[in-house]
A and B are shown apart, each in its own frame.
Chain A
Amino acid sequence: MASTSSAKKKNNPADSSSLSQVTVSSAHDVVVALETRDDRKFSFRVPETVNDGDYMSIRSQIHTSNACYQRYDVIANPRDLTPPPPPAEDLPPYQHFRIILCLEDQLAQQQRSPFGWSNLGNFFYFLFSQETSKKKTMEASEVPVATVTQRSQKSVESQVGRIYESFAKLPPDAQFRMLELKRENHIDYLKGGLRQLPSSFCVLYALRPWVCFWNLHSLALLGESVDAQLQNNIIDFLSRCQDPNGGYGGGPGQASIWSPYLPPMPHLATTYAAVCSLITLGGHKALSSINRSEMYMFLRQMKHPSGGFRIHDGGEIDVRACYAAISVASILNILDDELVQNVGNYILSCQTYEGGISAEPGTEAHGGYTFCGVATMIMINQVNQLDLPKLIDWLVFQQGKECGFKGRTNKLVDCCYSFWQGGTFALLQRACSTIDQQLVIPVGGKSFEVNFNDIGHNFVKRRVEM
């Protein structure tokens, strides 16, 4: 199929004599290769039939490759490409077409930014040289194909880059307005959520104490309070979520003398959320509504011989469950040797070769579990068991050039990790002296215990001794 480009010549300041009629033999996956000014090769796959969505994606990938292209030539609108009958059997699955893109200096100057392709209009142009189409296709290994990781990273970098770029162009007062926390909007949203949630939130059916916590905690951070009536209602609601045998479930059960068995059953995550909500409210009514001795029995029941905790009866065991259990026990002053036993070993077994902490022994180091693991170790006064320098080295590299944090190596930044990863730094500030000591004495040598005397297990023990 021949493709022509006469209509778009006016956009192309390049030498138009390099244009030629070519035959496109489309195969299953066409790989587009770009040759850049600094001799980098960058490629991606073009699907056999290019629809608008694909086209936009390709264009965005060209945009986001953040390279200076050597030259481009105007050839054809990819929407004109229709796949011919399948090619001869001896052609491998991929056909690589060398696409040479040119960015004239004037154009570059006009654009002023590496992302400025808008002058070229909504068309994407290919050059298929006669030579290339006649040649047997290149081996796939000759032209490196951008991987899924590389493509998605470039895409996010570009999106964030555009935001920073437009931000940088604003005058200072506009910048200030853009950065200012929209406090009143957030407060309205949070208070509204406590009062009513739409039907799409039915996925949170088993997570309602979490909604209480997220909303209440955020309001507290904003320095806002809730009225006495709403406070009472929350305390009442959470009491209905409390299981008579200890712990909190995802929603109200019905504790009555003739029907003790009603769902939802208690769950460590919703227990954490409920307890934290009540602590946030504070005051005698909220705090005394928590059945501490039953809670202790529930936590003991969830304890697993490996040292970890099951997140509910018959449920999964992971670092998240450990954090929920230990933090609740710590905050309620019911933490004891029975609960603490082996937790440190379990979490240590979840510190991976990368330095971060995983959900279970063997899985990948991950921001959420790293926060949970470090926090738990601090609470049980065993943070020195972790290889902290290695953890820090992993942690610092979780910050991307976008300035936000990612959850795992080579994944994308996400603002939730500003908390999980960023928060771990705040925790590690408390362990400074331990870190310094570990840098001198190799891990596995003599370790130095650091006493966090005002939180966690040590505090609890000391009080009892008194």
Chain B
Amino acid sequence: MDSDEEQQWVPLKNRPEWSDVVPVEQDDGPNPVVPIAYKEEFTETMNYFRALYRADERSPRALQLTTEAIKLNSGNYTVWHFRRLILKALSVDLQNELDFTEDIANANSKNYQLWHHRRWVAEILGTNATRQELEFTKKILSHDAKHYHAWSHRQWVLQELGGWEDELDYCHELLEEDVFNNSAWNQRNFVITRSPFLGGLKAMRESEVSYTLKAIVAHPENESSWRYLRGLYKNDNQSWMKNTQISSVCLKILIAKTDCIFALSTLLDLICHGFQASQEFRDAVDALRNSDLEQAESDLAKTICSLLETVDPIRVNYWKWRKSMLCQDAN
């Protein structure tokens, strides 16, 4: 209980309810390596934990001890594991566990053990927990919209317990706040490919392409939206290549002359997959080239690679390699 924060820690050896337990010390051997200068509270708590673990005591006091041990070190996976054994044995109301993990998360939410524990609890509670789990992850994400564990847990909840109905809207909300949030785009892909209510990727493709192209036009420098767009055509390169909206947007961005890297790269990929670029595209690309410095190439794809070497200099070697592979591309 957090209200005990202010209280002085009472050593376990001084607590009468623990008088029957013989603590078991950690045995590092005579010549310890990487020894940690544990504080007394930590050492004693773990000594008592070891004793209970060895005796396999699955009691209320053991549960309380795991609480204390976890608060001292939330990365102690053995303590979490034993806690689960105790919870099962005692048939404890697992609603309290959700509160407990939330407390731990408030102290440090980047911890595999607490999220795994939460998943275990939610699995047992089943669909009764759906709403709460979605709220909990939403809360974490409101402080850190890219929190990996939170997203992973949220995805698990959706798949195992449901609650898909509002998820696409939630993604949209997050993207309104920060269109560069790659986690939100990833979640969008997750929803449209897996939600039982939306009909699958192909069914959603048209509306999603619209949505994404709008985002791309607003921020052509946003890598997330470009990759998402490509992801809408997984295993269907021909449809991707034939969608004139996509090549048009690329053209529009090239003509505007700012933030062209992804537009150029996408155009390059389209051409590699058989897109026949009209003179307009050729002209737009040529307008970007510094014709004094760069030689014109007969092949548009090669020209684009050369141009990318200049406008995306950190990846100059990558673009050179792409250029070298061009003659091998099948159309």
Which of A171-179, A401-409, A416-424 contacts its partner?
A: A401-409
Determine if A409 and B53 form an interchain contact, defined as CB atoms under 8 angstroms apart: no
A127 to B32 alpha-carbon distance, docked (Å): 65
B242 is an interface residue with CB less than 8 A from chain A: no
Determine if B223 and A401 form an interchain contact, defined as CB atoms under 8 angstroms apart: no
Which of B93-101, B126-134, B179-187 contacts its partner?
A: B179-187
Determine if A399 and B78 form an interchain contact, defined as CB atoms under 8 angstroms apart: no
Determine if A263 and B145 form an interchain contact, defined as CB atoms under 8 angstroms apart: no
1/0 contact string of A230-246 vs chain B (CB within 8 Å): 10111011001000000
A259 is an interface residue with CB less than 8 A from chain B: yes
A392 to B155 alpha-carbon distance, docked (Å): 26
Q: Cβ of A399: which chain B residues have Cβ within 8 Å of it? A: 314-315
Chain B residue with Cβ nearest A435: B325
Beyond A363-B155, A364-B148, whether A410 also contacts B182 by CB under 8 A is yes
A410 to B146 alpha-carbon distance, docked (Å): 10
A262 to B35 alpha-carbon distance, docked (Å): 19
Determine if A197 and B37 form an interchain contact, defined as CB atoms under 8 angstroms apart: yes
Instruction: Scan residues 209-250 of chain A and give those whose CB is less than 8 A from a CB of chain B.
Output: 211-212, 215, 229-230, 232-234, 236-237, 240, 249-250
Determine if B116 and A250 form an interchain contact, defined as CB atoms under 8 angstroms apart: no
Beyond A212-B33, A264-B78, A316-B112, whether A353 also contacts B194 by CB under 8 A is no
Q: Cβ of B318: which chain A residues have Cβ within 8 Å of it? A: 392, 396
Instruction: Scan residues 55-101 of chain B and give those whose CB is less than 8 A from a CB of chain A.
Output: 56, 72-73, 75-79, 81-82, 84
A76 is an interface residue with CB less than 8 A from chain B: no
Q: Cβ of A211: which chain B residues have Cβ within 8 Å of it? A: 34
A96 is an interface residue with CB less than 8 A from chain B: no
A392 to B269 alpha-carbon distance, docked (Å): 14
Instruction: Scan residues 17-76 of chain B and give those whose CB is less than 8 A from a CB of chain A.
Output: 24, 26-29, 31-39, 42, 46, 49-50, 53-54, 56, 72-73, 75-76
Determine if A199 and B330 form an interchain contact, defined as CB atoms under 8 angstroms apart: no
Determine if A262 and B53 form an interchain contact, defined as CB atoms under 8 angstroms apart: yes
A265 is an interface residue with CB less than 8 A from chain B: yes
1/0 contact string of A245-259 vs chain B (CB within 8 Å): 000011110100001
A311 to B113 alpha-carbon distance, docked (Å): 11
Q: Cβ of A359: which chain B residues have Cβ within 8 Å of it? A: 148, 152
Chain A residue with Cβ nearest B181: A149
Contact of B34 among A147, A194, A352, A363 (CB under 8 A): A194
Determine if A250 and B34 form an interchain contact, defined as CB atoms under 8 angstroms apart: no
Determine if B38 and A199 form an interchain contact, defined as CB atoms under 8 angstroms apart: yes
Contact of A314 among B81, B148, B223, B237 (CB under 8 A): B81
Determine if A252 and B182 form an interchain contact, defined as CB atoms under 8 angstroms apart: no
Interface centre among A149, A196, A312, A411 (most CB of B within 10 A): A149
Contact of B330 among A352, A411, A436, A442 (CB under 8 A): A442
A81 is an interface residue with CB less than 8 A from chain B: no
Q: Smallest Cβ distance from B241 to chain A, in angstroms?
A: 12
A410 to B115 alpha-carbon distance, docked (Å): 24
Query: Size band of the B side of the interface?
Result: 35 or more
A408 to B184 alpha-carbon distance, docked (Å): 12
Determine if A362 and B194 form an interchain contact, defined as CB atoms under 8 angstroms apart: yes
Determine if A251 and B26 form an interchain contact, defined as CB atoms under 8 angstroms apart: yes
B230 is an interface residue with CB less than 8 A from chain A: yes
A313 is an interface residue with CB less than 8 A from chain B: yes
Determine if A363 and B186 form an interchain contact, defined as CB atoms under 8 angstroms apart: yes
Determine if B186 and A147 form an interchain contact, defined as CB atoms under 8 angstroms apart: no
A311 to B148 alpha-carbon distance, docked (Å): 18
Determine if A149 and B178 form an interchain contact, defined as CB atoms under 8 angstroms apart: yes
1/0 contact string of B136-151 vs chain A (CB within 8 Å): 0000000001101001
Beyond A199-B38, A364-B148, whether A440 also contacts B330 by CB under 8 A is yes
Contact of B145 among A148, A207, A265 (CB under 8 A): A148
B202 is an interface residue with CB less than 8 A from chain A: no
B247 is an interface residue with CB less than 8 A from chain A: no
Q: Smallest Cβ distance from A245 to chain B, in angstroms?
A: 14
A194 to B36 alpha-carbon distance, docked (Å): 10
A436 to B42 alpha-carbon distance, docked (Å): 55
A426 is an interface residue with CB less than 8 A from chain B: no
B235 is an interface residue with CB less than 8 A from chain A: yes
B211 is an interface residue with CB less than 8 A from chain A: no
Determine if B186 and A352 form an interchain contact, defined as CB atoms under 8 angstroms apart: yes
Determine if A202 and B178 form an interchain contact, defined as CB atoms under 8 angstroms apart: no
Determine if A202 and B42 form an interchain contact, defined as CB atoms under 8 angstroms apart: yes
A240 to B237 alpha-carbon distance, docked (Å): 55
Instruction: Scan residues 221-250 of chain B and give those whose CB is less than 8 A from a CB of chain A.
Output: 222-224, 227-228, 230-231, 234-235, 237
Determine if A354 and B227 form an interchain contact, defined as CB atoms under 8 angstroms apart: yes
Q: Cβ of A315: which chain B residues have Cβ within 8 Å of it? A: 77, 81, 116
Beyond A149-B181, A233-B32, A237-B32, whether A202 also contacts B235 by CB under 8 A is no
A-B contacts, 7 of them at CB < 8 A, read A195-B33, A236-B29, A240-B29, A261-B56, A364-B182, A396-B318, A441-B330
Name A's B-contacting residues (CB within 8 A): 147-150, 193-199, 201-208, 211-212, 215, 229-230, 232-234, 236-237, 240, 249-252, 254, 259, 261-265, 267, 311-316, 352-355, 359-360, 362-366, 392, 394, 396-397, 399-401, 403, 408-411, 436, 439-442, 444
Name B's A-contacting residues (CB within 8 A): 24, 26-29, 31-39, 42, 46, 49-50, 53-54, 56, 72-73, 75-79, 81-82, 84, 112, 115-116, 119-120, 145-146, 148, 151-152, 155, 159, 177-183, 186, 189-190, 194, 222-224, 227-228, 230-231, 234-235, 237, 314-315, 318, 325, 328-330
